[in-house]
Structure 1
Amino acid sequence: MAIGTLDWTSAAERPDLLAEPVARAVGGPDGGLGEIEVAEIDPELADTAAFCERYGVGLGESANCVIVAARRAGEVRYAACMVLATTRADVNGVVRRHLDARKISFAPMDDAVTLTGMEYGGITPLGLPEDWPVLVDEAVAAHPEVVIGSGVRRSKLAVPGSLLAGLKTAQVLRLAN
């Protein structure tokens, strides 16, 4: 692997660098999700811009996972949106309509952390609750390999976009505006 200046290794060999739900998803009962690599980073540099600058990763090689709360008729449903770091998800348009929500917002940090079992700034679509849709932007799905969170701030994962598009609850859409 040659993304940035990071020292990549098999995620299956370093579960200590993953949040518990991510480690379960990567290791999984069926041998895991496939070839996923992990690299340790400075947790103070986990936010996208600082991470990319420090580790020589292009913004177009990095994908962000945003958790949204969709509301309709008193019910709240959560979903994850995956977009390249060079774009923003059209949460109030495409995402709201796709989730058939009357109102949609970014999930509050405390809710996102509690419900995912992951650290804020490291939330990833791997290991999310099984009933959450994972909305993957077309550009992420088509990317040969993107850098995403690992569930913790002290590491990052490198995964093929096709792996994200192939997750059980994934839906590939044009999310970026």
Structure 2
Amino acid sequence: MKLETAKRWLILFYEKIQDNVAVLAELDSTMGGDGDHGENMLRGMTAVVNAVEPKEFASTVDLFTETGMLLLTKVGGVSGTLYGSAFLGMARAEQIDGSLYNDIKEGLVMIQRRGRAEIGDKTMVDVWAPVVEDLKNHQLTPERIDEYILKTALLRAKKGRHAYAADGSLGLVDPGSYSSGLLFKALLEAEEKDYV
């Protein structure tokens, strides 16, 4: 991925998190969480943007590595671990290949390694996995991302605090899936500007 595109992606993701803090908080609390997913993600992405926006990076590898480390240390909770690990995975993929598909695929590998979640467990994996397939087939659109987010409402949570709810939070959208949707919509917007 081009360095300027990657930086633009992070800034757009930050803006989307900022616009959706209340939504993420409500989704988290409704599912039995602490209601802090929005604030945690905003704190992490604020730290990322403040650090990376003014800085000149030698490569996208360096940008993703710094992003991953900041998310690991600033977000808190499981989200920080998963998002931070995803960006560290993307940094590794950039060293090898640099294709968008392989970056996101390696990000998913790291999320699954850390969170031990599978497709159908009602986690962010349920958005990342189909997005990886769509990137492979050049079919990713905002509408498809929304579809993956909404599908998590049909699942019973098998991981994390939400799994302890009697109904496995059936009927509710997973907050990590929602924030992942914001990440990928920001990605599409960042990529779009390369062709304008």
The TM-score normalised by the length of structure 1 is: 0.27
The TM-score normalised by the length of structure 2 is: 0.25
Q: Write 1 or 2 for the structure with the bigger share of helix.
A: 2
Higher relative contact order (CA 8 A, sep 6+): 1
